[in-house]
Structure 1
Amino acid sequence: MSNVSQAPTPKAALTERPRYTLWQLVGYMLRLGTLGFGGPVALAGYMHRDLVDRRQWITDADYKEGLALAQLAPGPLAAQLAIYLGYVHYRIAGATLVGIAFVLPSFLMVLALGWAYVRFGGLTWMQSVFYGVGAAVIGIIAISAYKLTTKSVGKDRLLWAIYLVLAAVTVVTESEIAWMFLAAGLLVWFWRAPPKWLRQGGLHAAAATQLPLAGGVAGTIDWPLLAQIAVFFAKAGAFVFGSGLAIVPFLYGGVVTDFHWLNEKQFVDAVAVAMITPGPVVITVGFIGYLVAGLPGASVAALATFLPCYLFTVLPAPYFKKYGKLPAILAFVDGVTAAAVGAITGAVIVLARRSIVDVPTVLLALCTVALLLRFRKLPEPVIVAGAALIGLVIYPLMHH
């Protein structure tokens, strides 16, 4: 993400008329959603490189505003940034079409993988693949957590305290407690920028929006299981901040611990599927929805997860230029981000207990960490593919 801070593109060049059509941008996002590996930070980096530096379709100032809003609002960062960039010149139509184009390719891929998993999940080769991939995924999430920690928490003692508390709570409870995220944001806000105007804050409005949304999604569906899926995933989409990986502990708490829709092995496999496919990591919700209730479950889970993030991007976009730089808002974001990164770190430990089951899986996870630290630009899918091949060889030998 180092390229984000380069000199801004001249504003005048883009204020009159956009230098691209809406369909050109939709085409770009469709391609990025199909080929864009590497997680949210990498995807955001590609957008800056292609749309700001190379094509100069978007100004640096607009990009940075989109990135700041994506970090501020709950939901998957890369998807929200894409939605905001669609909004810049083409407003609601642009935001909507770009959002669909960015998410659709990976959704179709996880549907295909979900079908194969259900159809062939009992076969040794499928178990072998996920045996290797599951261990590698732990290494990938561990490195992501490390990078997010150094970038987001820094040397701030208050943020470190929040980070450690959330990591510990996630490990102990094996779930994500949404109100602790909001509490962390409020704590940093009150500490750094004590508000004189507490009753005027926009925070309560943002926190309240997911309630009618979740209820509205559930109210239109008769089948109780789909209604449950809709409400749960709408909550997940409305409460998860920052990296797409932040949704992992939240989903684990609901899908495995509370509802018992999946067992632990299936859940780790679902996270692995999100790592294998390009596009946003959050698309794992489509795979989980498919395992729980087939195609309707996948569709409802994906729609319920991405609808809050779409609304949290489009609704505040007109006001964000005016209020986005307020110290209170920046402090709140820092607190929530530290909490989210702490929860991701805790989730690494929780999930590692399920995937790191013997000596080969320990070695696979450690090798993944070592490779990612040594070769900074090594694409994660290459590691995942290698781990799958190793799993195919080793799993049958270990489980004779």
Structure 2
Amino acid sequence: MKNIIGIPNPNIIMIGKNNMNAKPIYSLSQIVTYFLKLGTIGFGGPVALVEYMHRDLVEKRGWISEDDYKEGMALAQLAPGPLAAQLGIYLGYVHYRLVGATLAGLAFVLPSFLIVCLLGLLYVQSGGLPWMQAIFFGVGSAVIGIITMSSYKLVKKTVKKDWLMWGIVTLSGIVTFMYEEENLCLIMASGIIVWLRKKPPKLFIATQKAFFVPLFLQTASPPEIDNKLTTIGMFFLKAGAFVFGSGLAIVPFLYGGVVKEYHWLNDHQFMDAVAVAMVSPGPVVITVGFIGYLTAGFQGASVAALATFLPCYLFTVLPAPYFKKYGQHPGIKAFIDGVTAAAIGAIAGAAVVLGKRQITDIFSIAIAFITILLLIRFKKLPEPIIILAAALLGLIFKSSF
């Protein structure tokens, strides 16, 4: 992700290097319209979405400078929050500050939110209809293959030959598999261990302040509350403060809370929710809207989505004015490296946990295996195509037996 660099558009030279304080060559309505369109037709997950932003806003239109784009990418990787949504919020902030960040973020997330709510409505109304179950039978198996390959790619890209990082990934994966939920204390401890190893603390107080809020949100258990919407809000607020980088990092955390702790959904419903996020445009994290809808209707979807994306928004706009000066501190980077390694291990562990429930016969094994082979052979194959093909196969298989 750190090497997503294109050829700058000549218009960028007119704007000037690092143009956050320069006069923009586009209107607020234009940038908002762009993100509304991207949120509506932007398939492919976080990697594809951030590439679309670079291609359209930096290379083709020259609205955003290369330097501002790189800084947005760096902040999105360092701070909690889904990568694509956080980058979109930052790019809206570049010239139009809080108003731009707010409207760009809403425009990017709203279309996919409405789509998953509509799918949630259809899902609830169809109930136990065989055709709906058949579709998600095939899709669930393909999702296991996708998560498995995502884990592999993240390990290959992030861990490399660092023995400590390999140890963290392995331990986190084993713990997630054994307890069938994510251990947030282990994840935070991993960040601290890598920080102490790579960059002994000289600015401990500053770093402690920078991560106090997400640390609090991740370790504090929500109070016992009777109001279901409030409980949903507290849980997803905590979830939103956890996601580093890939939207799939939220999957093991959500599984531990939604299925294991609160029992809002069963295993198959949870897999269906992940599948819906895969086949929908926009950020993968929008699966929280579908989960919220199944749990408490449209109000539940709205509360879940707002609570999840609020930390993402705050962790972008609050540090944005200071990021140029402090964002590259080695201690902060080392901490995030450790947290990311533990999160990758949790994704791998969650893939095994979900797989042992979803992969139950030869047909589901075949779909998962073929999905992995396709993603290895065709590296740029869009995931929604695989999901749609798996849905068709599931429908054909279930109707034949």
Deviation (angstroms), 1:179: 2.2
> Is residue 326 of structure 2 the alignment partner of residue 323 of structure 1?
yes
Indicate the larger mover: 47-56 or 14-23: 14-23
Report the counterpart of residue 275 of structure 2 in structure 1.
272
Report the counterpart of residue 286 of structure 1 in structure 2.
289
Deviation (angstroms), 1:369: 0.9
Tell me if structure 2 keeps the 8 A contact 1:30–1:105: yes
RMSD: 2.1
> Is residue 137 of structure 2 the alignment partner of residue 110 of structure 1?
no
The match for 1:228 among 225, 231, 246 is: 231
Deviation (angstroms), 1:108: 0.3
Q: Which amino acid aligns with 1:45?
A: E
The match for 2:32 among 26, 32, 39 is: 26
TM-score, scaled to structure 1:
0.94
The match for 1:385 among 385, 388, 392 is: 388
How far apart, CA to CA, are the structure 2 residues paired with 1:246 and 1:162?
15
Give the unaligned 5+ runs of structure 2. Answer: none
Q: Secondary structure at the match of 1:109?
A: helix
How far apart, CA to CA, are the structure 2 residues paired with 1:2 and 1:91?
24
Tell me if structure 1 keeps the 8 A contact 2:207–2:331: no
How far apart, CA to CA, are the structure 2 residues paired with 1:196 and 1:80?
29
Report the counterpart of residue 344 of structure 1 in structure 2.
347
Task: Map Cα deviations across residues 314-359 of structure 1 (whole Å, 9 max, x no partner).
Answer: 1011111001111111111111111111111111111111211110
For 1:193-272, list aligned pairs within 5 A: 193-198=199-204, 200-208=205-213, 224-272=227-275
TM-score, scaled to structure 2:
0.93
> Is residue 44 of structure 2 the alignment partner of residue 57 of structure 1?
no
Indicate the larger mover: 64-73 or 6-15: 6-15
Indicate the larger mover: 362-371 or 206-215: 206-215
Deviation (angstroms), 1:176: 1.1
Alpha carbons of 1:319 and 1:79: their partners in 2 closer, same or farther (altered >3 Å)?
A: same
Deviation (angstroms), 1:45: 1.3
How far apart, CA to CA, are the structure 2 residues paired with 1:159 and 1:50?
35
Tell me if structure 2 keeps the 8 A contact 1:289–1:301: yes
Alpha carbons of 1:309 and 1:218: their partners in 2 closer, same or farther (altered >3 Å)?
A: farther
Report the counterpart of residue 376 of structure 2 in structure 1.
373
The match for 1:395 among 374, 395, 398 is: 398
Q: Secondary structure at the match of 2:67?
A: helix
Report the counterpart of residue 312 of structure 2 in structure 1.
309
How far apart, CA to CA, are the structure 2 residues paired with 1:226 and 1:107?
18
Deviation (angstroms), 1:5: 2.9
> Is residue 4 of structure 2 the alignment partner of residue 4 of structure 1?
yes
Task: Map Cα deviations across residues 152-203 of structure 1 (whole Å, 9 max, x no partner).
Answer: 11111111111111111111111112222221111111101101232x2233
Give the unaligned 5+ runs of structure 1. Answer: none
Deviation (angstroms), 1:8: 5.3
Deviation (angstroms), 1:205: 4.4
Task: Map Cα deviations across residues 208-256 of structure 1 (whole Å, 9 max, x no partner).
Answer: 36758999x999xx96101110000000001221210000000000000
- Report percent identity of matched pairs: 60
Deviation (angstroms), 1:206: 2.8
Indicate the larger mover: 346-355 or 109-118: 346-355
Indicate the larger mover: 5-14 or 342-351: 5-14
Tell me if structure 2 keeps the 8 A contact 1:3–1:48: no
Alpha carbons of 1:121 and 1:334: their partners in 2 closer, same or farther (altered >3 Å)?
A: same
Count of matched residue pairs: 394
Task: Map Cα deviations across residues 268-310 of structure 1 (whole Å, 9 max, x no partner).
Answer: 1110111110111110100001111111111000000000110
Indicate the larger mover: 88-97 or 164-173: 164-173
